[in-house]
Structure 1
Amino acid sequence: MVETKNAPATAFHLNRSLLFMLLLYGGMTVVAGVLAYKQVQLWPFQLAVEAGIFAFLILVVISSTVTQLFGEKLANRIVWWGFVPLGVSSLLMTVVLGLPASPEMVQFRPDDLAAFERVHAQLWRVWLAGPAAYLVSLLLNIWIFSKLRGSGDQGTLGLMFRGAVASALSQAIDSVIFITLAFYGEFEITDLLIGQVIAKVTLSFVLVPFLITGAVAFARWLDRDPA
């Protein structure tokens, strides 16, 4: 820490675990939208789910971990600040799409150029649906996770239960908001909506409890005393 003659130094401490989670959170807000362009089939069900769910589940785990260790208020702030990387990446993508491609790419790699533009030139409804679903579902996840905690800590099993329930409910709401805003009226969305909800709720109960307990343990390990 550096002191100047005109201003006293101000003590500031940022937990290593919180810094790590903030960096990872910002990256996941951006990559979730990129992964969403591929649908994957989850074994053993014949259900197709957009791959962005994996990054979004990490966002859920991070928000729940921050709530567990640092409180609901800070977790909510992180969700709101998540719009910064979302907005910057969207603006940058708009600029890149508007710039002319190089002659070399136009002449020798037209298929690559067409694929890039087809994937990233999203419809305005998708652009609006993503942030809306992100905000509502993650704030809901934090609220449910915090409320289920009550006045005390129920230990590892309680942490796993709260994480699974909060994630399942918030993921179901996320699917309803996103698919309805993005695709309603474009095609029949019932099958897609049901499949997404089932897949996300299933993953919430199968993966999230273990991811949250692992994330909390890892965060505490990062913040342990060096001695």
Structure 2
Amino acid sequence: MKTNALEFKETRAYLFLTALVICGLAASLITAPKIVHVGINFPFSNIVFSIFTYPIVDCICELWGKPIARQTVWIGLVSQVLFCVLIQLSILAPPAQQWLHQGEYQIILSTGINVVIASLVAFAISQIFDIYVYQKLKEKSLGKQLWLRSNLSTYLGQTIDSILFINIVFYNSNQKMNLILGSITIKIILSFLMTPIVYLIIHSLNRYLDNHTLAFKMEGELHHA
């Protein structure tokens, strides 16, 4: 009975984190074309990515390992494609005569094919690289220095993501290099600020799951070594 209860709690915890990733990916598709200026120029989707994708996938990798983290990436990619298809179908559906906002609706929700391709390619490649680096650093450090592997893997992954995404979406823009530099800068800042949140999530879920996670098991092995 206790095992079943633990499995239920573990499933619920994993689904919650995966839902955050899916939410972040869906929001990034809509917010990607919006360029904001806060001292530097960058797509608003950078904020979404830095909060809801990389740190969360790192938490999943820490708690359940690389295979589950990769599974989350593929779930995220499929959900992103499905979200895009549903949005396009809603745009193509004939509007009622009394509904006069089809033009505005289409402008706001239309996502260019280049944005979709860029988002999928950049996310897949950068996240797989992020998970690989994270796991390697975890093995090298014997489970210690969570802050180092979380930040370093995220910095490298998000740099790849920014270069790929902006080169595909803004390939004709003369501001492309500024956008790449601004994008990388804001992601590094936000990733650094997310470090305490990553610690909080992992610590809280370790307690919630009665320490039945890879993170706790590795910590226990270190204490007994």
TM-score by length of structure 2 reads 0.82
- Name 1:23's counterpart in structure 2: 19
The reply on whether 1:53 has 2:46 as its aligned counterpart is: yes
Residues 83-122 of structure 1, C-alpha deviation per residue, up to 9 Å, x if partnerless? 221121111111111012222222xxx4xx3232112222
What secondary structure does 1:176 align onto?
A: helix
- Name 1:123's counterpart in structure 2: 112
Contact 1:129-1:177 at 8 Å conserved across structures: yes
Of the structure 1 ranges 86-95 and 54-63, higher mean CA displacement relative to structure 2 is found in 54-63
Q: CA deviation at 1:48?
A: 2.3
Structure 2, unpaired ranges of 5+: 212-225
Q: CA deviation at 1:127?
A: 1.6
- Give the superposed CA RMSD: 2.3
Q: CA deviation at 1:189?
A: 1.2
Contact 2:46-2:186 at 8 Å conserved across structures: no
Query: Which structure has the larger Rg?
Result: 1
Among residues 128, 153, 169, which one is paired with 2:143 in the alignment?
153
Residue identity over aligned pairs, in percent, reads 22
TM-score by length of structure 1 reads 0.81
Code of the residue aligned with 2:13 in structure 1: it is: S
Among residues 202, 209, 216, which one is paired with 2:189 in the alignment?
202
Alignment of 1:75-224 (within 5 A): 75-106=69-100, 110=101, 113-151=102-140, 152-154=142-144, 158-205=145-192, 207-224=193-210
Of the structure 1 ranges 113-122 and 143-152, higher mean CA displacement relative to structure 2 is found in 113-122
Among residues 25, 29, 50, which one is paired with 1:33 in the alignment?
29
What secondary structure does 1:141 align onto?
A: helix
Of the structure 1 ranges 160-169 and 14-23, higher mean CA displacement relative to structure 2 is found in 14-23
Number of aligned pairs? 205
Higher percent of residues as helix: 2
Of the structure 1 ranges 25-34 and 167-176, higher mean CA displacement relative to structure 2 is found in 25-34
User: Moved runs in structure 1, 4+ residues, more than 3 A?
Assistant: 37-42
Contact 2:150-2:195 at 8 Å conserved across structures: yes
Contact 1:37-1:119 at 8 Å conserved across structures: no
Q: CA deviation at 1:18?
A: 1.3
**Shift in CA distance, 222/116, structure 1 to aligned 2, threshold 3 Å:** farther
